[in-house]
Chain A
């Protein structure tokens, strides 16, 4: 599994104990143990995120199964072009995060910062598109819950449909919680870029970049499912 350039692990391990890396917390034996623990911890956290979203997918599945036609009609009122654009934006941001990790593993700090900033920009772009989408809906009275009162040529027909409010409730809750995750990710990525600029990371220690990358990819994956379910079918 190790790359061919890496020295034999035992020698390396010993060297490590001698200089005792500064990021090694006292209760870990080696940096490897610390890194592996952090990573497993992140994966466990990610499955809690997956199960958090699963609740909303269940609600979607149930109401869609009861009202397939209404859901198809309501999904037709969402802006597919914006949704598709946002999908590409998020996929690209996933790539840039992967590249940021790729860079820091080779000690290319400068590049890592650029990629992180690129990710931040793309995430911002995603939120801007989302903002315009939401506003377009609110303008026509398409709100989640009791305030649901669709009007305007494109939306009027929703008023008569029994489960249309449910579709939009689910749409807003799902994309809303996803959006919150994007914003949290943006904050963390911003902090990472700052830390990288201060020189905190190197190929010796880049755990936060790696973990944030995992988180960001999960946010991407959730969107990969939301896009077809909400916009396309």
Chain B
């Protein structure tokens, strides 16, 4: 599987909620409003992990979601990047050390980009997507 420039201009994202408080979801939806218009750069949310290049994970991965997260991760076709939105997913955040967590996200699947914040601002999420594109570019350079 070869990475090309087209990935940078057409990154389709699938959003997975692993037990978040819904704060991050609201900000992700805010990031795709006409005010920010990420479709300018070919970024769009898709309904099925099969169509996605970018997996956006929110929430701290509760016990019940671990298996589902793994399965969704497997369903995303290669090449793919994973982005973790919110401190919950990076470290547990407000739910740190809770008894019903299997997370944070990087205990379950490999994460490429972390976007901190509780919840992060839409600008931060878009910056995270840009970093994800940079990562794809870097991978492309390494493989070439």
Query: Do A and B form a real pair?
Result: no
